[in-house]
Amino acid sequence: MRALLILLFSFAAIVANAQTVMPLYNGLPPGGIAGPDEEVTDKDNNRTNTSVPTLTAYLPPKDKATGTAVLICPGGGYHTVVFQREGLSIAEYFVKQGIAAFVLKYRLPDDKIMQDKSSGPLQDAQEAMKIIRSHAAEWNIDNSRVGIMGFSAGGHLASTTGTHFNKPVLAANAGINLRPDFMILVYPVISMEKNLTHAGSRLRLLGNQPGEEAIKNYSNDRQVTPQTPPTILFHTGDDTVVDVDNSLLFYQALRHQHVPAEMHIYPEGNHGFVLKLPTDVWMQITMKWLGRMGMLNPGNPLLQGGTGQLY
């Protein structure tokens, strides 16, 4: 009998933490250009040539759900999606804390598959926010606790989502709120200014000779308003890939607009430093911040119903 109970509990844990993958669109994305799927996955589960965007969902069991959800945008310089280490592994941590986590495999900007490559990743992030919020009740999510997280170029995508929510890429957004309720930005690319940005990210997103308007539009420190979501930032002072000034400028912009912000700057560790640490070490800081922001309080009426099942 005891062995049977252990087996049942083990099965329940596996089901609770199972990942479910869903497409963002039915068929070709709006503004997309039809072509073969040339996506490549390497031994570390990094993805290149992504043209079919998906959302991988991890839902906590209903009795453990806090009501909070986070959309995760892995990095990779807009050339790669670091799907495992900056995506699935982070989602697995969140779901154990009762937070629903959704990993976005966004389309990498490419003129071959997009009419406007600069807006393609943002379109995917906004569509993901729509999907999460439109299914909030059945997935035991509080619609006022849906945030976004991004690493490196994924941090640029996340901060673009958090500063461009009133500029929907898709005209038909079904009236759903596209604004994240919080942002977690880890060694993010923020600026597209030539002397500050990550050159590869800028080249792939905006092309060889972007105009001043495009540079301004995607330099997210210049897009902060009082409505920008509360933000926590992580960076190192010795980052040789994405200069720490990206985070400093964004923090300054948030502070000047009186947006709640917290920043953790470490003296060394270089780019990707959190990947060298046990997840629990630095994510505990994030969890405490979410608690201070009022994002972890259980008991919302939405948590009393819903099946938790994905479509």
pLDDT tens profile 174-217: 678 999 999 999 999 999 999 999 999 999 999 999 999 999 99
> In this structure, what is the dihedral angle of CA atoms 292, 294, 296, 297, given to the nearest 10 degrees?
120
CB 188 within 8 A of CB 113: no
- Side-by-side strand order, sheet with 100-105: 19-23, 54-58, 100-105, 69-73, 146-151, 183-186, 231-236, 261-266
Strand-by-strand arrangement of the 80-81 sheet:
40-41, 47-48, 80-81
CA atoms 6, 7, 8, 11: torsion sign? positive
Domain parsing of the chain, residue ranges: 15-29+37-296
Rounded Cα–Cα distance for residues 130 and 62 (Å): 21
- 3-state SS assignment for residue 72: strand
Number of H helices, E strands in the chain: 8, 11
Q: What is the mean pLDDT of the chain?
A: 89
The DSSP letter of residue 106 is P
β 100-105/80-81 pair status: unpaired
Segments in 207-244 forming alpha helices (H): 212-217
Rounded to the nearest angstrom, the gap between the alpha carbon of residue 58 and the centroid of all alpha carbons in its chain is: 14
Rg (CA), the chain: 19
Predicted local confidence at residue 173, as pLDDT? 64
E strands, 93-178, in order: 100-105, 146-151
Mean pLDDT on 263-289 = 92
CATH architecture of 15-29+37-296: 3-Layer(aba) Sandwich (3.40)
The pLDDT of residue 306: 41
Query: d(Cα 251, Cα 232) in Å, to the nearest integer?
Result: 9
Q: Which of 120-124, 148-152, 271-275 has the lowest mean pLDDT?
A: 271-275
**pTM reported for the whole predicted model:** 0.90
What single-letter DSSP state applies at residue 107?
P
Q: Which residues contact 33 (CB under 8 A, 6 or more apart)?
A: 112, 113, 114, 115
| Phi, psi dihedrals of residue 55, rounded to the nearest 5° | -125, 125
pLDDT band at 7 (very low <50, low <70, confident <90, very high): very low
166, with CB counted inside 10 A (0-12, 13-18, 19+), is exposed
Structure confidence by residue, pLDDT tens digits, 46-102: 999 999 999 999 999 999 999 999 999 999 999 999 999 999 999 999 999 999 999
Task: Name the maximum alpha-carbon separation found in the chain.
Answer: 70
DSSP state for residue 47 in the 8-state scheme: E
